[in-house]
Amino acid sequence: MGDWVQVADLTELARRKRKLVMVGGEDIALFLIDGQVYALRDTCIHKQRSLSKGVVLRGRVICPGHQWAFDPATGQVDDQEQCQPTYDVLVENDKVYVDPVRRLGGTRRVTGGEGQYELSPSPAPP
Ligand code: FES
């Protein structure tokens, strides 16, 4: 595990469903989707639009630029061979933390509360 950086309160994210934060000089878009927090690099890999200004549709983050649909857990783009960088997320005691080490093609999800959390294995590479 890397160095976790606190970036948001879960109650705030529950209200707004998204938040743009800066960690280690990088803009990161947080999304709360179906009770799970996800973190993706905010700048779209296609033409540099801001994913935090996009919408969430059927569990996908839709870029406002050209409507590419990103899997928020892996950064994979539907119908493309490209991948948006993602970040590990830890939720503990209503605080949201991000590991600033970015991942490509799969992310380790960390969830929890009451001081306990569990790690899920990263998805196998395609
Ligand atoms: S800028 Fe994101 S899809 Fe084109």
Indicate the domain borders of the chain.
Answer: 5-119
The finding on whether 66 has its CB within 6 A of some atom of ligand 1 is yes
For domain 5-119, the CATH superfamily is Rieske [2Fe-2S] iron-sulphur domain (2.102.10.10)
Which residues, given as ranges, of the chain have pLDDT below 50? Answer: 107, 109-126
Residue 21, pLDDT score:
97
Residue 106, pLDDT score:
52
User: Which mutation among 40, 49, 61, 62 tests ligand 1's pocket best, with the greatest number of atoms within 8 A of CB?
Assistant: 49
Q: What is the pLDDT of residues 42-63, one digit of tens each?
A: 999 999 999 999 999 999 999 9
Residue 11, pLDDT score:
93
| DSSP-assigned states of every residue in 27-71 | EEEEEEETTEEEEEESB-TTT--BGGGSEEETTEEEPTTT--EE-
Which pTM value belongs to this model?
0.82
